[in-house]
Structure 1
Amino acid sequence: MSAVRVQPGNSPVILAFPHSGTHVPPEIFSRLNTEGQVLRDTDWHLHRLYDGLLPGATIVAAQFHRYVIDANRDPLGASLYPGQNTTGLIPLTNFDGKPIWQRGQEPTELDRELRLEQFFAPYHAALSREIARVKALHGTAILYDCHSIRSIIPFLFEGRLPDLNLGTNSGQTCAPELEAAAGRVVASAAGFSHVVNGRFRGGWTTRHYGQPHANVHAVQMELAQSTHLNTETPPFAYDEAKADGLRLHLSDLLKELETLAPELPRG
């Protein structure tokens, strides 16, 4: 299986999916413990949730699971949120702080090097190519990084996560006009709570590629999974009724970004 799936489009908006893949090569899967093999921290059903919301959007999706290697972490291992609990480039625990590898089967330095080469690098090479292609077409590119997470995870954050978590690394990864417009859309999403640059301000992808001075703008959307799943525990079933209500607002958001693209200041 290829490490990455790419669907080129003609819109200025690119949808990236670093954490919705579920493929774990058998030789890696056999090293996970019982908890690890649940793949609990998958961004479940995001492809279905976003399917068809913005015709013409480019899609770049990692096929591999984040337990193989996390495509949204600094490849050098630096923490995205210093001083806060998080998981690393190759996670040793799940989001509850529980070990995911069998004792004695934890990833080695050689594993890290191989997985960077075989999984991480192809994903980001594809994403870089699509950003360059879209920018050449439109003069600007908007990267929308698609994420979801369980709404209650005491190991990572207190209380219940807002439904819609928009991240721009405190305004550094996109033009102010874009952040403001996106913020207005999520604030007007009736029935859904929201925050801008709260607990999740944007991961490595958003921070690495978001360079508004170079006409590449990036935002991260972290959705609480309670907004579109029937349950946040196995089997993590998709709830079509819930999701349909959310899809209306996500569609509005993506269309707003696409409409705004020609009006963004050029560096």
Structure 2
Amino acid sequence: MQNMAFGQVYRADSPILVATPHTGTAIPDDLLQHPAWVPIAGRLADPAGIALQAAAGRHGASVVSALYHPCVIDFNIATDTGPLSPRLNRGGLCRTHTSRGESLYGADGQLPEAEVERRVDRYWRPFHAAVTSELVRLRQMHENVLLLVTHASSWLSPFRNQAGASDCNVGTNQGASCDRQLVSTLTGIVKSCGHSWVVNGKVADVFCAQRYGMPENGIHAIEVEIAGRWRAELEIDARDTVDRKPDAAMDALLEALMKTLRRLPRAEAVSAAAFEDANGHA
């Protein structure tokens, strides 16, 4: 396990890389001087990411995880998006309000652009450099590799209604980011575990799938957002830090995806330089 400024990197040898951009709970000390940030510290946005990280450790999968709370910096947002509203700085890259609508930066809710860029340089770019580097390493070992990203974008936003959400929301950039056999495997496991699912619904075009999916070159990317009953169950498990129970669905999911990856046809190789160049920009 390697500790980095943005979080942690754990390198293993299976063809799966798990990325958890929204599992961070830490708040930088300078922000904790503002009262609005104090209750955010330790507030877990993505309990599914914690469960998937644990499963990755049991199944020899690599992990890139976040240290800081996604309200500080959101690794699943592009850096070149403009502000969508006064409450979303650069499209949510550095949130100015919590998921409960609480202002994090005083009455005007503004964050200087220079501070956004500082966080991008210190945290965002190194996080994605680590993801890219690990995918290159794994692709050199395996004919097909999978980046599996779990996140909580909808849960973090105060503008989306969570009522009626499926237990598992799958994003594949409208099918362009991965082989369809991997999606069938994922949804089959989810269904067999008694959870509901939807593919390319509200998380159809999330950032990591768009950025990293190159199935024609053996690099697949799938994003999952766990909601509904499954999220509620994982939240209960996440609070038990001493005697946390493994999530059977996460274990079954990784096992099945690894088997499917090994059955996929050989893909055209991509050089490390070409992949890094394709993914070196926001």
Interval containing the TM-score (normalised by the shorter chain): 0.7 to 0.9
Contact 2:99 2:156 in 1 (8 A): no
Contact 1:210 1:218 in 2 (8 A): yes
Query: Which amino acid in 1 is paired with 2:261?
Result: A
Give the 3 Å change call, closer, same or farther, for CA 99–75 of structure 1 in structure 2: same
Query: Which amino acid in 2 is paired with 1:198?
Result: G
Which residue is equivalent to 2:249? 249
Query: Which amino acid in 1 is paired with 2:223?
Result: Q
Please give the alpha-carbon distance, in whole angstroms, between the structure 2 residues aligned to 1:73 and 1:126: 16
Query: Aligned match of 1:129 in 121, 133, 136?
Result: 133
Secondary structure at the counterpart of residue 76 of structure 1: coil
Q: 1:142 Cα shift?
A: 0.2
Residues 161-180 of structure 1: pairs in structure 2 closer than 5 A: 161-180=165-184
Secondary structure at the counterpart of residue 230 of structure 1: helix
Which residue is equivalent to 2:31? 28
Which residue is equivalent to 2:64? 60
Which residue is equivalent to 1:203? 206
Gap runs ≥5 in structure 1: none
Which residue is equivalent to 1:237? 239
Give the 3 Å change call, closer, same or farther, for CA 35–61 of structure 1 in structure 2: same
Higher normalized helix content (fraction of residues):
2
User: Which stretch of structure 1 is more off in the superposition, 199-208 or 154-163?
Assistant: 154-163
Task: Report the TM-score when normalising by structure 2.
Answer: 0.79
Query: Which amino acid in 2 is paired with 1:237?
Result: R
Q: Over the residues paired in the alignment, what is the CA RMSD in angstroms? A: 3.2
Q: 1:143 Cα shift?
A: 0.3
Deviation sequence 1:199-235 (CA, Å, 0-9, x none): 223521122111112211011121122131239xxxx
Query: Aligned match of 2:93 in 89, 112, 125?
Result: 89
Secondary structure at the counterpart of residue 116 of structure 2: helix
Gap runs ≥5 in structure 2: 269-282
Give the 3 Å change call, closer, same or farther, for CA 240–257 of structure 1 in structure 2: farther
Q: How many residues of Structure 1 are paired with residues of Structure 2 in the alignment?
A: 257
Please give the alpha-carbon distance, in whole angstroms, between the structure 2 residues aligned to 1:179 and 1:37: 34
Q: 1:132 Cα shift?
A: 0.3
Which residue is equivalent to 1:4? 7
Report percent identity of matched pairs.
Answer: 26
Which residue is equivalent to 1:216? 219
Query: Which amino acid in 2 is paired with 1:26?
Result: D
Query: Which amino acid in 2 is paired with 1:206?
Result: A
Question: Given the alignment of the two structures, is residue 112 of structure 1 paired with residue 116 of structure 2, yes or no?
Answer: yes
Deviation sequence 1:76-114 (CA, Å, 0-9, x none): 1258xx99x986111112224442322357321100111
Task: Report the TM-score when normalising by structure 1.
Answer: 0.83
Secondary structure at the counterpart of residue 236 of structure 2: coil
